[in-house]
Structure 1
């Protein structure tokens, strides 16, 4: 149940980095940058290795219904097990999908946070909590509402009087294969996981060998192919642009 309403976040790296920096991300090691297209040549321009991808997409009623059908199918038939280390947060605040997407990206990535920062404290407090309990922590931490509002107000477009929007953020991460982890000879197999706070839970999108390229394929197949809108925006979390690549 949605409990309050925030200003929608604008989808650009400056806004996301403003939010992340204020919340405690050490930006000298990781930042968000634009993904300018889904073709391999454009994907190669993104600094790597990519740790997470945030997608803004048009969430029309027909598309929402398809996602609800997928949730129902997962509830009925199951899916590939999600690794228990994945942190998923239920969205209970209207228009907070940008902040939820950022939290999903940062809380599930190997990035560094400033000690005692809002993000460091949030992750520590959310350990062993349910998705709804994590949502409650977000609701009752005024500093996150302040960070969100300041980031939303720093965008290139004016804050709209009408806060209704049909655009929505979701996040993609890679996580260990829960099945492979439990075998006698554990492997380093990874899975592509979609994290959307408006869903019923994390969604397994298959094997993950290259996070950015695998997300691009899912976006083509699941999002772009099912929409007549061209209003999509992708940003990747990785090393600062221009920095030396790490292994």
Structure 2
């Protein structure tokens, strides 16, 4: 085992089962397809949001954030904030930034409670090291990475030409709306905010940040961390809603299983079987099959070329 952290997707099903496998109870993630405070409020209680965005590779943290203000005075014991010390861990770090600040509202389970207690008096840099070196958190994180025989994420180094994406968290803590970004030197305060006000306060902050990007930049993703919606469905006796939530969970489990599986060997066996069957039909049949496939590929390439010329 290399001990590295692999890339995971910004996906509600991935994040839901990731926190569940860490021992967290009654929490799920919902994708927000629009910046709509009312829709976010309907998911209440909302513990925080995880925002994925394209990170300029040449940009470095400065002494003053572009939005909000650094809160360098908040005590480490009052707010969990960890510096990001390793590549590819920012998705899990962002969701932990919400979870570990909500132990009064969320059942974290014994392992995360122990981790928070162990790091309670640590400064942010040491918390980041402790997180990066947690075998439990790393193993659960990596269990949701896509299986690929071609890419070793632990060896990949981003360049200026790469599209690099970064996860950060927004959550209300002790009456303040905080932005928790492990690449920044401190938590960023966006002003007073109660739990009830969170949907109305966080949406303008997100909108202002997105507006700094070119109008054609649409590669953003926003996930809300909420209480398990099946609980709400049971509370109000909505059986249809409960059925839909259970169906969604089943789909998530199936998708996560597919993510873990490497299909290259399976595809290779299919191709070998097709080739063997063609060879059994005789050399002329095989040659005809290859010729027909080549002709179709050439025709498709010529068609694409004509479309590009007319465009």
Structure showing greater Rg: 2
Judged with a 3 Å threshold, the aligned counterparts in structure 2 of structure 1 residues 200 and 72 are, in CA distance, closer, same or farther, namely farther
Matches within 5 A, 1:31-180: 31-45=28-42, 47-61=43-57, 64-65=59-60, 67-68=61-62, 70-71=64-65, 81-82=73-74, 84=76, 85-109=78-102, 110-115=105-110, 117=111, 119-153=112-146, 161=151, 163=153, 164=158, 165-176=163-174
Which residue of 182, 186, 189 corresponds with 1:197? 182
Query: How far has the Cα of 1:160 moved from its partner?
Result: 7.4
Judged with a 3 Å threshold, the aligned counterparts in structure 2 of structure 1 residues 207 and 73 are, in CA distance, closer, same or farther, namely closer
TM-score where L is the length of structure 1: 0.77
Find the aligned partners of 2:66 and 2:30 in 1 and give their Cα distance: 34
With a CA cutoff of 8 Å and minimum separation of 6, indicate the structure with the bigger relative contact order.
1
Find the aligned partners of 1:170 and 1:120 in 2 and give their Cα distance: 22
Cα-Cα RMSD:
2.9
The number of residue pairs the alignment matches comes to 217
Match of 2:10 in 1: 11
Judged with a 3 Å threshold, the aligned counterparts in structure 2 of structure 1 residues 206 and 73 are, in CA distance, closer, same or farther, namely closer
Q: Which 4+ stretches in 1 moved above 4 angstroms?
A: 71-74, 77-81, 162-165
Preserved CA contact (<8 Å) 2:37 2:203: no
Preserved CA contact (<8 Å) 1:53 1:212: no
Preserved CA contact (<8 Å) 1:90 1:131: yes
Preserved CA contact (<8 Å) 1:51 1:173: yes
Deviations 1:79-117 (A, max 9, x none): 5853651110011011111111011011011210223x2
Find the aligned partners of 1:16 and 1:94 in 2 and give their Cα distance: 18
Match of 2:207 in 1: 220
User: Secondary structure at the residue paired with 2:203?
Assistant: helix
Judged with a 3 Å threshold, the aligned counterparts in structure 2 of structure 1 residues 230 and 31 are, in CA distance, closer, same or farther, namely same
Preserved CA contact (<8 Å) 1:82 1:204: no
TM-score where L is the length of structure 2: 0.62
Query: How far has the Cα of 1:42 moved from its partner?
Result: 3.4
Find the aligned partners of 1:53 and 1:95 in 2 and give their Cα distance: 19
Q: Going by fraction, where is helix more abundant, 1 or 2?
A: 2
Preserved CA contact (<8 Å) 1:37 1:43: no
